[in-house]
């Protein structure tokens, strides 16, 4: 961060830059308020750096990976009353952007403050995004940076085509890759005790075994 700001701070044009930034942010905030007023409950839409991103339909492989991983996580979380799991339609509002992650989790203490009619939520403790051709750049780019900046302690990137999972854990203000695999056991840090074979996301027989273990 300091490396980016240092030349601006030293520039004689700093006051001019600040005014330009304030104007740009004010205009962006107006667009964001319009987004809140017009987005519909059934939309799959996000507000990213001043632009409304409406997502197109997903492939079957994407839908199945998202559904099955959410089911595995929700089964474990609900059986132990660990918190709240969101799947695809819950909007998280960060400092500048609004996202609808494929899967997210808030620990019990924070989730206890949520209201039944709540539409916007704070940064989760855990996020998983399922890659697609249209979202891959965002999932690996602005979301990767933004989730880390807002303290999302664990981030999974699931590739339904390659049938792999990348697990990132927060290390300071950035993510560190802990695992990238298609066959290994993956253990969550944000969901204490949650561990599944990566294959359980993609394979029905592995998933049934994993569900029985999670319930037990």
Can you tell me the distance from the alpha carbon of 26 to that of 19, in angstroms, rounded to the nearest whole number? 11
pLDDT at 56: 84
For residue range 95-130, list pLDDT tens digits in order: 999 999 999 999 999 999 999 999 999 999 999 999
Can you tell me the distance from the alpha carbon of 101 to that of 126, in angstroms, rounded to the nearest whole number? 10
Instruction: Give the residue-averaged pLDDT of 35-64.
Output: 91
For residue range 150-202, list pLDDT tens digits in order: 999 999 999 999 999 999 999 998 999 999 999 999 999 999 999 999 999 99
pLDDT at 110: 92
For residue 37, the surrounding DSSP H or E stretch is: helix 14-38
Contact 186/199 with Cβ under 8 angstroms? no
pLDDT at 1 over 70: no
Instruction: Give the residue-averaged pLDDT of 138-151.
Output: 97
Contact 198/164 with Cβ under 8 angstroms? yes
For residue range 77-99, list pLDDT tens digits in order: 999 999 999 998 899 999 999 99
Can you tell me the distance from the alpha carbon of 179 to that of 150, in angstroms, rounded to the nearest whole number? 22
CA distances (Å), 44 to each of 14, 40, 54, 147, 195, in order? Answer: 39, 9, 6, 19, 29
153 phi-psi bin (left φ>0, alpha ψ -120 to 50, beta other): alpha
Per-residue pLDDT band at 216 (split at 50, 70, 90) = confident
Q: How far apart are the first and last CA of the chain?
A: 46
For residue range 2-44, list pLDDT tens digits in order: 677 788 888 888 888 889 999 999 999 999 999 999 988 878 8
């Amino acid at each position: 961060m300091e490396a980016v700001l240092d030349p601006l701070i030293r520039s004689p044009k700093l006051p001019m830059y600040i005014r330009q930034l304030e104007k740009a942010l004010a205009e962006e905030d107006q667009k964001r308020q319009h987004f809140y007023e017009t987005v519909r409950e059934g939309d799959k839409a996000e507000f990213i750096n001043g632009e409304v991103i409406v997502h197109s339909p997903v492939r079957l492989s994407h839908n199945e990976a998202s559904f099955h991983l959410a089911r595995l996580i929700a089964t474990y979380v609900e059986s132990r009353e660990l918190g709240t799991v969101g799947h695809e339609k819950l909007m998280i509002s960060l400092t500048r952007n609004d996202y609808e992650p494929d899967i997210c989790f808030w620990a019990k203490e924070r989730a206890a403050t949520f209201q039944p009619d709540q539409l916007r939520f704070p940064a989760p403790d855990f996020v998983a995004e399922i890659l697609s051709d249209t979202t891959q750049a965002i999932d690996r780019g602005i979301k990767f940076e933004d989730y880390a900046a807002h303290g999302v302690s664990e981030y999974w990137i699931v590739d339904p085509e390659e049938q792999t999972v990348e697990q990132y854990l927060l290390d300071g203000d950035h993510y560190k890759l802990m695992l990238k695999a298609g066959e290994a056991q993956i253990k969550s840090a944000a969901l204490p005790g949650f561990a599944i074979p990566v294959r359980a996301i993609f394979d029905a027989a592995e998933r049934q075994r994993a569900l029985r273990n999670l319930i037990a």
